[in-house]
Amino acid sequence: MFNKIGKKGGVTTSSQGGIQMEREETKRFDGYLFSKLALIGSKSEGPQYMLQQWDYKEIRVIKKVHLWQNDPNLHKFLGKRVTIIGFFSHEGIEYESITELQPPEPAEKKLELELKTGVDVLLVNKMPSFAPIKQSMILTLRVKWPYRSIWTGTCLDSQIYDFIVEYNGKTIWKWSDGRVFNDVITSVVIPGGDFEEFPVTWEFSPDQIQEEGTYKAKGLFIASDQRTSTDFEVKFVH
């Protein structure tokens, strides 16, 4: 019997003898495909397919036919440099597809994001007061395109960023709440070189902050679907 490959809940598994074994995420394997004749006693198991990688390491490629048969998907690529997409298990590579060697995929270029809170420790005034107290903290999302070109992106409306403050996973404040944005496609341009800064002010009443501890600020750059975060401490002043 040959292994049956399936996916369950986003995790790829291999079913063999009723046992479910987790498989790694899909990976790319490049190398030279060749075969060896596998023998058990006097009985031949047929060809065993091997991938020789660029460091000369040899990895078995598991065929999807009976042991004594040639795998037609693999056999036609014998003696060629190939690209295999599949999963790596303790038995070898369980392939999903195989083609002649493909050029390497270029690394995806992304914007660099930083989030500045202005202070590492936010002092919240808990002293008695007859008048309402308002405090604030500046949050700045810094966006950089570290190449000698221009980055361009698109938003579905006029909102290109957002900010969130959380404590223990609960949202305390979200910049976009209560704001109205123009329903118009918005182009965003980031020149290469220096950081572009997007500052906002978080205004809050001390009564809204119930506990001291470590809070998390998040910055979202919607135009590139990227986000970053940083922690800051909250201390009460009595």
CATH number of the domain within which 54 lies = 2.40.50
Which amino acid would we find at residue 136? S
Asked if residue 78 and residue 156 are part of one domain, the reply reads no
Query: Are 162 and 70 contained in the same domain?
Result: no
Is position 8 within any domain?
Answer: yes
Residue 235 near residue 177 (C-beta atoms within 8 A): no
- Could you give the C-alpha distances from 7 to 26, 87, 218, in angstroms and in order? 11, 12, 33
Q: Is 75 helix (H, G, I), strand (E, B) or coil?
A: helix
CA nearest 24: which of 74, 75, 94? Answer: 94
Question: Does some domain include residue 196?
Answer: yes
| Measured CA angle at 176 (ends 172, 178), to 5 deg | 90
Please indicate, yes or no, whether residues 79 and 142 belong to a single structural domain of this protein. no
User: Looking at the 3D structure of the chain, how many domains does it have?
Assistant: 2
Residue 107 lies in a domain: no
Distance (Å, whole) CA 158 – CA 156: 7
Please check whether residues 86 and 121 belong to one and the same domain. Answer: no
67 and 130 assigned to the same domain: no
Residue-range definition of the domain harbouring residue 95: 4-100
What's the pLDDT score for residue 199?
97
Q: Kindly report, residue by residue over 84-117, the tens digit of the pLDDT.
A: 999 888 788 999 999 999 887 676 789 999 999 9
Question: How many CB atoms within 10 Å of residue 97?
Answer: 10
On whether both 122 and 198 belong to a single domain, the answer is yes
The stretch 33-40 carries a mean pLDDT of: 80
Whether 105 maps to a domain, the answer reads no
Of the candidates 236, 232, 238, the residue with the CA atom closest to the CA atom of residue 137: 232
pLDDT at residue 133 greater than cutoff 80: yes
Residues 93 and 121 in one domain: no
Q: Are residues 67 and 117 in the same domain?
A: no
Q: Indicate the pTM of the whole model.
A: 0.57
Question: Is the same domain home to 66 and 155?
Answer: no
Q: Over the stretch 57-75, which tens digit does the pLDDT of each residue have?
A: 889 999 999 888 899 999 9
